[in-house]
């Protein structure tokens, strides 16, 4: 059984994580994450373990592409949604279960690719993040790929600027804590202020992956600066303007000085 921080568990009981990628600027996160996954993914029908896969946003997409996908998440509500979807899916997952990223039930060397698209930023203690990365490395086959997500240390500052949230002293204090030590705490009842998390500097995410004895293949900013634009939805709804958002995100994805302006970071590791 997964062990999860009670504040995080309570957040995911209320927050509609299953539909998050459909609203606001999150479709940019989804499309760019898919691009980066496909850039490094082995050919189907390789086995993919989606750890922290929630209700299956990426797991079902990969299953449709022909992969053999096993989903694990720490939140029972989201796993129940994934299982219900799986019953009617044309391309079902091979398994979906409740589990802990730090102690996976999967056999060693059983996956060609492991996704960690959520666990690392909900493990606020470095030893827990290390355990999750070591577990991912254990499950990978030699030569297998890890795709691990972090939230940028600067995400709340940039979000606060874009949405003028810094007029709220409570959010301003949250941002100050994030910038000081990366530990995001939300003492309010506002779901859009997120929940307990750790926000990485880009170099920290790289270092954590390499400490798990994985070789870094790439470190990317997912969204670029486009996610911050107040008129994002209008731009995303126009195909020509959407292409510009994507063009800029791709152009800046590896620029060291620009990585942190993305809300999300992706580290790509390979097991020797």
Flag whether pLDDT at 25 surpasses 70: yes
Total structural domains in the chain?
1
Predicted local distance difference test score (pLDDT) of residue 3: 78
Q: Is residue 74 part of a domain?
A: yes
Q: Is residue 237 part of a domain?
A: yes
Give the separation between CA 188 and CA 210, rounded to whole angstroms. 36
Q: Is residue 62 part of a domain?
A: yes
- 32 is in which domain, residue-wise? 6-155+201-270
Give the separation between CA 38 and CA 8, rounded to whole angstroms. 30
Q: Is residue 12 part of a domain?
A: yes
Q: pTM for this structure?
A: 0.97
Give residue-wise pLDDT tens across range 140-181: 999 999 999 999 999 999 999 999 999 999 999 999 999 999
Among 78, 122, 116, which residue's Cα sits nearest to residue 96?
78
What does 174-224 look like in DSSP terms, one character per residue? Answer: HHHHHHHHSEE---SS-GGG--SEEEE-HHHHHHHHHHTT-EEEEEEESSG
Q: C-alpha angle 92/44/38, rounded to 5°?
A: 100
Give the separation between CA 45 and CA 65, rounded to whole angstroms. 8
Predicted local distance difference test score (pLDDT) of residue 20: 97
Give the separation between CA 64 and CA 266, rounded to whole angstroms. 23
Give residue 2's pLDDT band: very low, low, confident or very high (50, 70, 90).
Answer: low
Flag whether pLDDT at 65 surpasses 60: yes
* CATH code: domain of residue 226: 3.40.50.150
Q: Is residue 56 part of a domain?
A: yes
Percent of the chain predicted with pLDDT > 90: 99
Flag whether pLDDT at 1 surpasses 90: no
């Amino acid at each position: 059984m997964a062990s999860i921080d009670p504040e995080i568990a309570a957040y995911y009981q209320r927050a509609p994580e299953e539909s998050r990628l459909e609203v606001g600027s999150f479709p940019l996160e989804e499309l760019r994450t898919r691009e980066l996954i496909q850039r490094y993914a082995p050919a189907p029908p390789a086995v993919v373990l989606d750890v922290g896969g929630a209700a299956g946003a990426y797991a079902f997409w990969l299953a449709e592409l022909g992969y053999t996908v096993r989903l694990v998440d720490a939140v029972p509500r989201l796993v129940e949604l994934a299982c219900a979807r799986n019953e009617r899916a044309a391309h079902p997952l091979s398994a979906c279960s409740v589990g802990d990223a730090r102690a996976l039930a999967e056999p060693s060397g059983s996956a060609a690719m492991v996704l960690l698209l959520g666990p690392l930023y909900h493990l606020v203690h470095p030893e827990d993040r290390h355990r999750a990365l070591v577990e991912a490395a254990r499950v990978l086959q030699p030569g297998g790929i890890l795709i691990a997500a972090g939230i940028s240390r600067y995400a709340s500052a940039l979000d606060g600027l874009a949405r003028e949230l810094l007029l709220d002293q409570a959010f301003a204090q949250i941002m100050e804590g994030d910038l000081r030590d990366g530990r995001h705490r939300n003492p309010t009842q506002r779901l859009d202020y997120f929940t307990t998390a750790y926000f990485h500097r880009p170099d920290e995410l790289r270092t954590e992956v390499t400490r798990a004895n994985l070789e870094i293949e790439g470190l990317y900013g997912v969204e670029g600066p486009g996610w911050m634009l107040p008129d994002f939805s209008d731009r995303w709804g126009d195909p020509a303007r959407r292409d510009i958002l994507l063009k800029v995100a791709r152009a800046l994805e590896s620029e060291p000085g620009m990585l942190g302006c993305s809300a999300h970071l992706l580290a790509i590791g390979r097991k020797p």
